[in-house]
C-alpha cells in the first residue's frame, strides 16, 4: 500500500513536461484518489501514479489503484463500434451502429411489446450514468426489465437495512469513529484484502484496545487481526448470530431502555430465543458454546460496538435473514445511533452504493423511491416530464432476467459495464440464454466474455476519461475528475444513452451535454427521497466528500444516522425472528465438499480490467483452489496441479494450493478468470427469496486431479 509523500507531490507540480491527470480509483468502494503523471520520453509514454489526499483513505492507494491506469492504455481497448457479421466483428460507424439499434429495437418492440427488451447495468457506473440508465429503460425503451450486477453484491444487506432501519446506507456512522470502537464483529468480510486502504482504521481500533471478532470459514489477513476467529461452517452465519443473541438474552445483556423506546418486535424475538438451544447451534455451526458466549459477552459489555458484514455472509440464499440477525444484535444491545456504535455492510463495487440508489434496480426510482409507490411514481414522472401512466412497473432481479431470456420472454438485451456471462451463478446457463437472444448490445471498454456474444459492441470510456460522481461505502458522494480525452471513436456511457434515445425518438428527454447537467436532474429527482442529494453540487464536491442525506445547500450531510430515530414512519427499528436455517445447497455423497468463492487483492470482479493490467495480472495469472492438505490427500491431489471442480451445474479447473487456513470440508476458488477457469460455471442459481441474491458462498462440489495435462481440455 502506498502512502502519499511530499516528494511525489512536488514531482507532480514542478515538472512542466509532465501531463498530470487527476482521478479516482475505478475499483473498490473506498474511492481512493490519485494523480497520474504522464511523461513522454524517447517517444514512449511513461506513467507514474501518486496517491492524493482525501478524507476516506487519507492519501493511501493499494496495488490495484497504483496500476489501474494500465488497462486504460491497453492495446485491446475497443476504439470503434463493432457489428457482428457472419459470426465475426466488423468495424462500423456510430451512425451505422445507431441505425442497427433503432431497427432491431423497433422490430422487437413492434412484434413483442416494450417488455421484450431488458437492460442490465452495473455498480461501477457513475451516479449520473446509473441514473440515466434507469431513465433510459423506463422512458426511452419503456421496459420494466432493468436490473444490475449489484444484485449479486449488495442486495442482501440493502434489503435487510431497509427493512430493519427503514433506510439503506453502507455505514451508519462516520469512518473516523471506527478507531474508537471497543468491540467489533467482522462477519464474512475481508477488509484487509478487499478494501486495504481503510484497514488502518481497524488496525488503530485494535491498537486502542478493541476486541475484534472475525467470522469466516477461512483464515484471512482480516481474521489475523482478530482476538477471536470463529471458523464457522459455511452457510450457518444466521444461526451463529442466534447463538450470540441467545447468550445476550440468557445472561441479561439486553438494553431494555433502548429496545422499548426505539424498536418493535421484541416480544416475538424473546419468545424465539426461549425456544432455541445453544448446543443445537453449536452442532450446526461447529462453533463451541464457550466461544459463542465469549463473543456475545464481549460485544454486549463493550461501551461501544460495531458490526460489519460483507459478501461472505450476504451471498447466501438466506443472506437477507443473516444480515437481519446481525442487525438484531446491534439493536438489542442498543449499539447504534451513538458515537462508535453502528452497523456497516462493506460495499464491494466502486459505486455499489450510488449504483443502488437512483433507479437501476428492478423495483426502484431515483432517491431510493419505490416504483410501486403512487406518490413516488408521480414525483419522478413529473421530474421526467412524462405521464405517470407511462412509467413501467416493477421488473425482476438480474438472474431472473436471464431466466426470462431463456424462456424467450425477453428477446433483446442492452448491457452496460457488466459481464454477466462470468458474474452470474450457473454461468453456462446464462451463456446459453444470451446466445439465444434476437439482439444483444454490450457497452464496454473491452471485448469482455459477454461482449464476445453480442451482435453489437459499443466502445466506452474508462475512469481516466469519464467525469462523474460516485458514492463510496460510507454513503459519501465523491467527484471524479477526468481530463483525458477518450481515444478514437470512444464515447462516454451517458453520451451513448443520449444518442440511442435520440434515434428512438426520445431525444428531448435526454438532451444532456455534460455529466454535471445530468447530476442537476438527479439532485432534483432525489429531492425528498431517502437518498436525498439535493444539497450536493459539483462545486461542493470539488472541495469535500459529502454524506447523504443532504437536503439543502446549507446542510452539512449526515455522517451518523439514527441518532434520534430510525427511518420508518414511526421512527422505530424492526427486530425480526430469524430461524436457524440451512442453506438451500448442502453436501451429499456425490458432492461432499463446500465450495466458497471470493476475490484476490490484485483483481477486481470478473477481471476484464485487471487481467489487462500487466502488473496486476502477473501477481495471479490463473485460478487456484485453496484446499486443506488433509482434504487434498484424501482426493489424491498434489500441490500445484490442475484440479477439476464439479457440481450439479457444471465444472471448472483451478490449480491446487495447500492451505492450513481453510476448513477440511471446504475449498475456496477466486472468481476472476474466464472460460474453463470460471468458477461460476459451478455455482448454484438458488436465490434468496427476499433479495434474490444467489448463494455464491455455499455450493456442494466434488474434486479430482487432472494429472494428465494433455487430457485437460478434452475432459472439461
> By the criterion CB under 6 A, which residues form the site for ligand SF4?
25, 27-28, 30-32, 57, 61-62, 64-65, 195-197
Residue 485: which H helix or E strand, with range? none
Shortest CB 69 distance to ligand SF4, Å: 12
Q: Which residue lies nearer to ligand SF4 by CB, 501 or 605? A: 605
According to DSSP, the β-strands at 573-574 and 546-547 are: unpaired
Q: Which residue lies nearer to ligand SF4 by CB, 67 or 526? A: 67
Cα–Cα dist 361/318, whole Å: 20
Shortest CB 430 distance to ligand SF4, Å: 26
Q: Which residue lies nearer to ligand SF4 by CB, 62 or 398? A: 62
Residue 20: which H helix or E strand, with range? strand 19-24
Among candidates 27, 194, 56, which has minimal Cα distance to 474? 56
Q: Please classify residue 542 by burial: count the beta carbons closer than 10 Å to its beta carbon, then call 0-12 exposed, 13-18 middle and 19+ buried.
A: exposed
Among candidates 713, 149, 620, which has minimal Cα distance to 425? 149
Q: Which residue lies nearer to ligand SF4 by CB, 193 or 521? A: 193
Shortest CB 184 distance to ligand SF4, Å: 19
Q: Look-up: residue for cell 437501476? A: 360
Q: Which residue lies nearer to ligand SF4 by CB, 27 or 249? A: 27
* Torsion sign (Cα): 273, 276, 277, 278: negative
* Torsion sign (Cα): 642, 656, 216, 148: negative
Cα–Cα dist 519/536, whole Å: 9
Q: Which residue lies nearer to ligand SF4 by CB, 27 or 343? A: 27
Shortest CB 129 distance to ligand SF4, Å: 18
Q: Which residue lies nearer to ligand SF4 by CB, 27 or 89? A: 27
Measured at CB, which residue is nearest to ligand SF4? Answer: 65
Shortest CB 616 distance to ligand SF4, Å: 10
Q: Which residues pair with 46 in a beta bridge?
A: 39
Shortest CB 241 distance to ligand SF4, Å: 28
Cα–Cα dist 637/643, whole Å: 8
Q: Which residue lies nearer to ligand SF4 by CB, 197 or 353? A: 197
Shortest CB 336 distance to ligand SF4, Å: 26
Q: Which residue lies nearer to ligand SF4 by CB, 27 or 165? A: 27
According to DSSP, the β-strands at 642-646 and 666-670 are: unpaired
Q: Which residue lies nearer to ligand SF4 by CB, 8 or 499? A: 8
Shortest CB 63 distance to ligand SF4, Å: 7
All three cell numbers of 421: 456471462
Among left, alpha and beta (phi > 0; psi -120 to 50; other), residue 41 is: beta
Cα–Cα dist 260/275, whole Å: 22
Q: Which residue lies nearer to ligand SF4 by CB, 65 or 557? A: 65
Q: Which residue lies nearer to ligand SF4 by CB, 354 or 425? A: 354
Shortest CB 60 distance to ligand SF4, Å: 7
Between helix 319-332 and helix 266-275 the angle, nearest 10°, is 110
Half-sphere exposure of residue 544, counting CA atoms within 13 Å on the CB side?
8
Q: In what side-by-side order are the strands of the sheet with 456-459?
A: 88-91, 82-85, 456-459, 439-444, 412-416, 117-121, 146-148
**3-class SS of residue 346:** coil
Burial 105-127 (b: 16+ CB within 10 A, else e): beebbeebebbbbbbbbbbbbbb
Shortest CB 195 distance to ligand SF4, Å: 5
Shortest CB 156 distance to ligand SF4, Å: 21
Shortest CB 26 distance to ligand SF4, Å: 7
Q: Please classify residue 403 by burial: count the beta carbons closer than 10 Å to its beta carbon, then call 0-12 exposed, 13-18 middle and 19+ buried.
A: middle
Residue 39: which H helix or E strand, with range? strand 33-41
Q: Is there a contact between 444 and 431 (Cβ–Cβ < 8 Å)? A: no
Q: Which residue lies nearer to ligand SF4 by CB, 62 or 434? A: 62
Shortest CB 599 distance to ligand SF4, Å: 10
Shortest CB 74 distance to ligand SF4, Å: 18
Between helix 155-165 and helix 319-332 the angle, nearest 10°, is 40
E-assigned strands of 117-205? 117-121, 146-148, 183-187
Q: Which residue lies nearer to ligand SF4 by CB, 55 or 514? A: 55
Q: Please classify residue 565 by burial: count the beta carbons closer than 10 Å to its beta carbon, then call 0-12 exposed, 13-18 middle and 19+ buried.
A: middle
Shortest CB 1 distance to ligand SF4, Å: 8
Q: Which residue lies nearer to ligand SF4 by CB, 557 or 602? A: 602
Amino acid at each position: 500500500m502506498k502512502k502519499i509523500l511530499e516528494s511525489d507531490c512536488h514531482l507532480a507540480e514542478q515538472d512542466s513536461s509532465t501531463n498530470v491527470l487527476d482521478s479516482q480509483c475505478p475499483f473498490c468502494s473506498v474511492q481512493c484518489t490519485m494523480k497520474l503523471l504522464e511523461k513522454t520520453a524517447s517517444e514512449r509514454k511513461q506513467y507514474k501514479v501518486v496517491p492524493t489526499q482525501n478524507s476516506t483513505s487519507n492519501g493511501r492507494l493499494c496495488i490495484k489503484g497504483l496500476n489501474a491506469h494500465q488497462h486504460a492504455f491497453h492495446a485491446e481497448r475497443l476504439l470503434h463500434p463493432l457489428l457482428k457479421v457472419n459470426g465475426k466483428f466488423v468495424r462500423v460507424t456510430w451512425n451505422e451502429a445507431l441505425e442497427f439499434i433503432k431497427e432491431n429495437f423497433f422490430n422487437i418492440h413492434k412484434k413483442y411489446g416494450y417488455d421484450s427488451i431488458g437492460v442490465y447495468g452495473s455498480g461501477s457506473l457513475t451516479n449520473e450514468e446509473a441514473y440515466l440508465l434507469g431513465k433510459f429503460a423506463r422512458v426511452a425503451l419503456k421496459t420494466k426489465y432493468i436490473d444490475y450486477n449489484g444484485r449479486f453484491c449488495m442486495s442482501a444487506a440493502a434489503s435487510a437495512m431497509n427493512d430493519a432501519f427503514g433506510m439503506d446506507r453502507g455505514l451508519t456512522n462516520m469512518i473516523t469513529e471506527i478507531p474508537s470502537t471497543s468491540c467489533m464483529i467482522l462477519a464474512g468480510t475481508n477488509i484487509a484484502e478487499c478494501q486495504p486502504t481503510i484497514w488502518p482504521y481497524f488496525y488503530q481500533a485494535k491498537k486502542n484496545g478493541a476486541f475484534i471478532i472475525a467470522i469466516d470459514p477461512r483464515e484471512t489477513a482480516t481474521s489475523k487481526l482478530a482476538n477471536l476467529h470463529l471458523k464457522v461452517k459455511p452457510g450457518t452465519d444466521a444461526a451463529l448470530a442466534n447463538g450470540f443473541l441467545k447468550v445476550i438474552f440468557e445472561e441479561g445483556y439486553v438494553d431494555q431502555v433502548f429496545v422499548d423506546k426505539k424498536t418493535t418486535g421484541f416480544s416475538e424475538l424473546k419468545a424465539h430465543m426461549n425456544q432455541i438451544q445453544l448446543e443445537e447451534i453449536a452442532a450446526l455451526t461447529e462453533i463451541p458454546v464457550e466461544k459463542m458466549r465469549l463473543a456475545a459477552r464481549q460485544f454486549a459489555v463493550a461501551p461501544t460496538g460495531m458490526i460489519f458484514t460483507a459478501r461472505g455472509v450476504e451471498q447466501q440464499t438466506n443472506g437477507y435473514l443473516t444480515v437481519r440477525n446481525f442487525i438484531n444484535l446491534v439493536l438489542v444491545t442498543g449499539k447504534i445511533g451513538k458515537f462508535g456504535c453502528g452497523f456497516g455492510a462493506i460495499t464491494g463495487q466502486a459505486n455499489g452504493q450510488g449504483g443502488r440508489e437512483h433507479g437501476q434496480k428492478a423495483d426502484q426510482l431515483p432517491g431510493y423511491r419505490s416504483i410501486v409507490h403512487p406518490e413516488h411514481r408521480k414525483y419522478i414522472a413529473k421530474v421526467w416530464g412524462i405521464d405517470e401512466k407511462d412509467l413501467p412497473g416493477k421488473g425482476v432481479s438480474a438472474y431472473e432476467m436471464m431466466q426470462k431470456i431463456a424462456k424467450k420472454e425477453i428477446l433483446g438485451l442492452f448491457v452496460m459495464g457488466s459481464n454477466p456471462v462470468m458474474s452470474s451463478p450457473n454461468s453456462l446457463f446464462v451463456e446459453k440464454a444470451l446466445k439465444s437472444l434476437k439482439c444483444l448490445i454490450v457497452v464496454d471498454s473491452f471485448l469482455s466474455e459477454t461482449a464476445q456474444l453480442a451482435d453489437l459492441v459499443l466502445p466506452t470510456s474508462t475512469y481516466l476519461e469519464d467525469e462523474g460522481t460516485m458514492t463510496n461505502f460510507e454513503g459519501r458522494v465523491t467527484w471524479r475528475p477526468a481530463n483525458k480525452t477518450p481515444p478514437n471513436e470512444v464515447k462516454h456511457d451517458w453520451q451513448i444513452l443520449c444518442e440511442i434515445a435520440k434515434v428512438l425518438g426520445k431525444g428531448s428527454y435526454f438532451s444532456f451535454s455534460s455529466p454535471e447537467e445530468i447530476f442537476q436532474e438527479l439532485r432534483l429527482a432525489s429531492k425528498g427521497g431517502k437518498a436525498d442529494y439535493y444539497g450536493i453540487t459539483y462545486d461542493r464536491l470539488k472541495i469535500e466528500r459529502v454524506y447523504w442525506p443532504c437536503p439543502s445547500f446549507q446542510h452539512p450531510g449526515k455522517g451518523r444516522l439514527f441518532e434520534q430515530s430510525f427511518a420508518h414512519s414511526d421512527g422505530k427499528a424492526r427486530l425480526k425472528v430469524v430461524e436457524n436455517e440451512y442453506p438451500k445447497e448442502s453436501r451429499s455423497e456425490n458432492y461432499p465438499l463446500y465450495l466458497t468463492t471470493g476475490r484476490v487483492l490484485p483483481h477486481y470482479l470478473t477481471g476484464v480490467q485487471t487481467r489487462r493490467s500487466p502488473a496486476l495480472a502477473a501477481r495471479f495469472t490463473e485460478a487456484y483452489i485453496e484446499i486443506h492438505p488433509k482434504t487434498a490427500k484424501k482426493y489424491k491431489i498434489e500441490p500445484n496441479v490442475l484440479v477439476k471442480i464439479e457440481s450439479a451445474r457444471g465444472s471448472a479447473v483451478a490449480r491446487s494450493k495447500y492451505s492450513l487456513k481453510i476448513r477440511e470440508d471446504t475449498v475456496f476458488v477466486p472468481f476472476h478468470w474466464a472460460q474453463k477457469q470460471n468458477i461460476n460455471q459451478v455455482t448454484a442459481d438458488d436465490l434468496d427469496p427476499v433479495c434474490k441474491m444467489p448463494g455464491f458462498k455455499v455450493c456442494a462440489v466434488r474434486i479430482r486431479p487432472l494429472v494428465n495435462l494433455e487430457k485437460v481440455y478434452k475432459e472439461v
